[in-house]
């Protein structure tokens, strides 16, 4: 059967961090129980899609999925299993915060089928954690990894953030060393982005916080790559490194144009070339989802569905494919869009190759320098892509 992935959005957090622009909310614990029931209702409403698909991965993101009761996580997984064929080796992943997931909680997640967990460590420096509004201590990160191992979770990752205002290279290197000391299977390293409308953006606008200069941020990225590679982690995507066999299979569905259902408040999905998004506010979502009945139509939780125009679809495909260190084969593009890559966007790719940003052979991929300028390469492609 055709493979399918499922993303389940959990919008609840203990504290919403000042840099976060995700669909996440603090102070709504009273909605967690009805939200779990709403997720099951929406999953059942997608029965017409699940019936013919082989689910290869389930990813719980947020928000903080680790703030939900394990029974709600288990209920969503069970609802998917009932509706669909779930691969025996399906990756079932969940994001959590260090310090808020005890051994009993983790064991219940493992019993429900969760085999991969990513902890939002962000930093091993106490002052940086306060700047980021994180509620855990540096010591809690290693403890969380050890507890997850004891609980039987097969693959454990850490998320880190660099490029913080005023962050010296020394503290970033110490965080990397501390991360390696607890021996995760996977490391994600993201540059801090000042997102419009966030409390962090307001502080920047007021001059209370000064973003780090781009050259220093680039140096931090390259330092991370060097340290992680030397420690045996293979970079497989711009921001992700893994020990062999621990790459995120769920995230690779996004980067390779695969189909995925988005379940939950504000979730996005992609099916047969069509993108859609769900209503965002948890209360509105719950009220609507609890009224759903299975049918052959889209559930009423979906507020927008659209098929991107050709240029947008090509842009999405190219920029996501170029995030992977292995890039893509030219023939993959030709099969997907029924036009040779050179005809669609050969000139800007050639210019990027001449500038040392791209390897432009049978496989097309960014160079090490090109990974630093992925966004600029994408803009150049978008300007030249054919319309209509």
CA distance 157 to 179: 10
Same domain, 140 and 72: yes
Residues 58 and 175 placed together within one structural domain of the fold: yes
Q: Is the pLDDT of residue 361 over 70?
A: yes
CB 386 within 8 A of CB 311: yes
Does 354 lie in the same domain as 231?
no
Mean pLDDT, residues 40-62: 95
- Give pLDDT tens digits for 160-191: 999 999 999 999 999 999 999 999 999 999 99
Residue 190 and residue 238: Cα distance in Å, rounded? 9
Mean pLDDT confidence for 108-134? 96
pLDDT higher than 90, residue 72: yes
Q: Is the domain of 154 the same as that of 66?
A: yes
Which residues have CB under 8 Å from 87's CB, separation 6+?
54, 55, 56
Residue 197 lies in a domain: yes
Angle made by CA atoms 60, 317, 364, in degrees to the nearest 5:
115
Q: What is the pLDDT of residues 227-237, one digit of tens each?
A: 999 999 999 99
Which of 227, 254, 281 is the C-terminal boundary of a domain?
254
Q: Quick one: 230 and 157 in the same domain?
A: yes
CA geometry: angle at 142 spanning 232 and 135, to 5°?
125
Whether residue 345 lies inside any domain: the answer is yes
236 shares a domain with 148: yes
For residues 279-285, give the mean pLDDT. 97
Number of domains in the chain: 2
Q: Does residue 264 fall inside a structural domain?
A: no
User: For residue 335, what is the domain's CATH number?
Assistant: 1.10.10.920
Q: What is the pTM of this model?
A: 0.96
Residue 10 maps to a domain: yes
Residue 106 and residue 23 share a domain: yes
Structure tokens at 14: 């203990």
Check residue 128 and give its pLDDT. 96
> Is 289 part of any domain?
no
Taking all residues of the chain, what is their mean pLDDT, rounded to a whole number?
95
pLDDT of residue 54: 94
My answer on whether 240 and 320 are in the same domain is no
Residue 136 contacts residue 98 (beta carbons within 8 Å): yes
Query: Are 247 and 322 members of one domain?
Result: no
95 lies in the same domain as 202:
yes
For residue 371, name the pLDDT band (cuts at 50, 70, 90). Answer: very high
Q: Give me the mean pLDDT over the 374-385 stretch.
A: 88
- Identify whether 271 is part of a domain: no
Residues 6+ apart with CB under 8 A from 251: 59, 237, 240
* pLDDT tens-digit map of 336-353: 999 999 999 888 888 999
> Which tens digit of pLDDT belongs to each residue from 196-207?
999 999 999 999
Find out whether the peptide bond into 353 is cis, omega within 30 degrees of 0. no
Quick one: pLDDT at residue 230? 98
**DSSP string for residues in 8-56:** EEE-EESS--TT--SS-EES-GGGHHHHHHHHHHHHHHTHHHHTTEEEE
Of 179, 172, 171, nearest to 98 by C-alpha is 179
Q: Where does a domain end: 189, 219, 254?
A: 254
Asked if the model's pLDDT at residue 388 lies above 70, the reply is no
Q: Which band of pLDDT confidence, cut at 50, 70 and 90, is reported for residue 387?
A: low
Q: Does residue 334 share a domain with residue 207? A: no
Looking at residue 360, what is its pLDDT? 84
First to last CA, the chain: 32
Q: For position 385, what pLDDT does the model report? A: 80
pLDDT over threshold 70, residue 132: yes
Whole-number pLDDT of residue 283: 97
> What integer is the mean pLDDT of 101-105?
94
Question: Which of 188, 221, 254 is where one domain is finished?
Answer: 254
What is the CATH classification number for the domain harbouring 134? Answer: 3.20.20.70
Residue 302 lies in a domain: no
Other beta carbons less than 10 A from residue 77's beta carbon: 22
Beta-carbon contacts of 78 under 8 Å, excluding residues fewer than 6 positions away, are 112
The mean pLDDT of 24-47, rounded to a whole number, is: 96
pLDDT value at residue 362? 83
- Owning domain of residue 359: 310-384
Residue 295 lies in a domain: no
Residues 244 and 322 in one domain: no
């Amino acid at each position: 059967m055709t493979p399918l992935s499922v993303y389940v959005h959990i919008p609840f957090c203990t504290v919403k961090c000042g840099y976060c622009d995700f669909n996440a909310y603090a102070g709504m614990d009273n909605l967690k129980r009805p939200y779990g029931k709403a997720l099951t209702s929406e999953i059942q409403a997608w029965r017409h899609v699940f019936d013919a698909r082989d689910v290869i991965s389930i990813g719980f993101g947020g928000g903080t999925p680790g703030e939900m009761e394990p029974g709600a996580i288990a209920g969503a997984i069970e609802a998917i299993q009932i509706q669909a064929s779930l691969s025996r080796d399906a990756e079932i992943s969940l994001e959590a915060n260090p310090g808020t997931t005890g051994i009993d909680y983790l064991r219940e997640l493992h019993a429900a089928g969760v085999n991969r967990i990513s902890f939002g460590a962000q930093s091993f420096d106490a002052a940086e954690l306060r700047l980021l509004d994180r509620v855990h201590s540096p010591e809690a990160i290693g403890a969380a990894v050890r507890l997850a191992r004891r609980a039987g979770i097969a693959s454990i990752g850490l998320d880190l953030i660099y490029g913080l205002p005023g962050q010296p290279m020394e503290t970033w290197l110490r965080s990397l060393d501390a991360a390696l000391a607890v021996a995760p299977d996977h490391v994600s390293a993201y540059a801090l982005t000042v997102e419009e409308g966030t409390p962090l953006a307001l502080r920047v606008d007021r001059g209370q916080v000064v973003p780090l200069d781009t050259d220093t941020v680039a140096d931090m990225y390259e330092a991370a790559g060097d340290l992680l590679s030397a420690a045996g982690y293979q970079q497989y995507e711009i921001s992700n490194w893994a020990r062999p066999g621990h790459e995120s299979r769920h995230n690779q569905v996004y980067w390779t144009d695969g189909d995925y259902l988005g379940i939950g408040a504000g979730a996005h999905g992609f099916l047969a070339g069509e993108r859609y998004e769900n209503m965002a506010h948890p209360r509105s979502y719950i009220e609507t989802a609890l009224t759903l009945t299975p049918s052959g139509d889209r559930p009423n939780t979906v507020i927008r569905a659209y098929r991107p125009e050709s240029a947008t679809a090509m842009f999405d495909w190219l920029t996501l494919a170029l995030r992977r260190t292995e890039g893509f084969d030219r023939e993959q593009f030709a099969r997907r869009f029924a036009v040779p890559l050179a005809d669609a966007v050969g000139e800007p790719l050639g210019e990027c190759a001449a500038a040392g940003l791209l390897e432009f052979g049978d496989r097309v991929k960014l160079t090490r320098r090109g990974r630093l300028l992925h966004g600029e390469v994408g803009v150049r492609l978008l300007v030249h892509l054919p319309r209509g």
